[in-house]
Each structure stands twice: as structure tokens, then as C-alpha cells.
Amino acid sequence: MPNTIGDYQTLECSIDALVATITINRPEKLNSLSSAVLDDLRHLVTDLRMRDDVRSVIITGKGGKAFVAGADISELAALNDPEEGREFALMGQSVFSLIETSPKPFIAAVNGFALGGGCELALACHIRICSDNAKFGQPEVNLGIIPGYGGTQRLTRVLGRTMATDLILTGRQMDAREALEQGLVARVVPIDDLLPTAVSMAMTIASKAPLAISAALECIVEGIDESIDEGLGREAECFGQLTTTADFHEGTSAFLEKRKAQFQGK
């Protein structure tokens, strides 16, 4: 049975079979990212990163219409000072960096609209899958601003300069089919299959060696900003360190003995 954890105003979270599922729970506001949501996310993600009973995490939105439709516009509209605006952006960036740098993989299960901050939240996750009604976009120029929670940086790294510039400067929305074609998402499924697909993927990852998963994420996330030689050096260092772990010896022994490995994260 899933174990519900935390007492958050804007989020629901349960843990089952080493998989945590976070649901952003503001359906009446299309799950928009208020400062309260970001604060709850900060505390919850920090907790999940440290828990021994969690090996992978899913993030989704309440209801079938929106994953996260963007930032809370009423809070945005109140900004009128450069330093205040900078701090507003840094607040979201810091929370999303906690997700991106997590040693445990985060899977965005995008149901419906992922616009503005919602697209940026999905981009901070390590894997993105979406429902066939999903829409992605960075429409901030329509409000007279730019993406502030990492969109100009992560979208460019995921899609490349040309496509990211197209989306950010036009403010247009990308549907699920195009998102799959462009490599923004790994899979597109019917809305009713979205969460089961995410759970299946998360459980598959959770069954693997945790230290190997963490090292792979480090090489991918950190290596993308390094030269190829630096990235290869990091990969070799991580590979070497993993050969000293109990999980490595369990994995190789299980393979040779034709049995399922039992990884302990040691």
C-alpha cells in the first residue's frame, strides 16, 4: 500500500515500492507555481533526496488538464523592482536545481499543459513522458518577460539553439507529437496510461543499482557542460569507483549465477 508522507498545502506525496509520486495539487489554478508551491517543493524534494525508502520520483499535476500551466500570474504582476524580480527568478531556479542535481532520477509525467514554469519544471526532471493531450511552451514574452526558472538554458540544451529560440521568441505551444519528434519527451501515451507508464518506468529504475544510477545521472547532468575529454574523465572516475561497491559484486555475481540481483545501494 502507498505510504502518504508530509503535510503540504499544495502538494500530495506517496511512496510505494521505492517510488515517490509528487502531485501538484492546485487544479483550480491549473496547478500554477505559486511561491507556496515552490516552498513546498523545496522541502519535499530535499526530504526525498535523503530518504532510504525512495529510489526514483515521479512529478505530475492534479487532474487531466494541466501538469503546471505556469507561474502564478497574480504574484508575477506584483513585481516592479529589478532586485525583487531577480530574487523571484532565483527562487524558482534553486528549487529546480535541487531536482536536476538529485542523485535519484525524477520523471515528469506531463498531463496536459506544461507552460512557462511548468515547462521549466519538466525540463529540470531527468526523464519526461507525456499524455497525448500535452502542450509545452515558454510563453513569457507574451507577458513582457522571459523564462526565469531555467527555460532559456535547459530548453536550449535539450532541443538545441534553433528550436529553443523558436519556442521562446514566438511563445508558441508544442504539442505532444512534436515534443516526441524533437526529443523533448521520451514517450507519449494516452492520458489514462500516463501514470501507470511513469510508475512502471520508475519501478524499473528503482530495481537497478542505486549507486550506478546516481553515477550515471552525475555523468549526464554534469558532463553536458564539460568538454568531451572532461566528461570522459568523469565517466572513467565514476566507473572505477563503482567497481569497489557491494552492488557491483552483487550484480556481476547474480548475472553469472543466473539470478535476479538484490541491490542495497552499498
Beta-bridged to residue 128, according to DSSP, are: 108
Question: So which residues are the catalytic ones?
Answer: 120, 140
CB count within 10 Å of CB 14 equals 16
What is the layout of strands, in order, in the sheet containing 66-68?
66-68, 113-115, 135-137, 173-175
The C-alpha cell that represents 119 in the structure block: 515547462
- Residue 204: exposed, middle, or buried by beta-carbon count in 10 A (0-12, 13-18, 19+)? exposed
Which of 153, 157, 151, 156 lies closest to 137, judged by CA? 151
Distance of alpha carbon 121 from alpha carbon 98, whole angstroms: 11
Whole-number Cα distances in Å, 208 to 25, 212, 243, 255, 260: 30, 8, 15, 13, 11
Distance of alpha carbon 222 from alpha carbon 9, whole angstroms: 33
Torsion angle of the four alpha carbons 55, 59, 64, 68, in this order, in degrees rounded to the nearest 10 = -170
Which of 16, 17, 36 lies closest to 25, judged by CA? 36
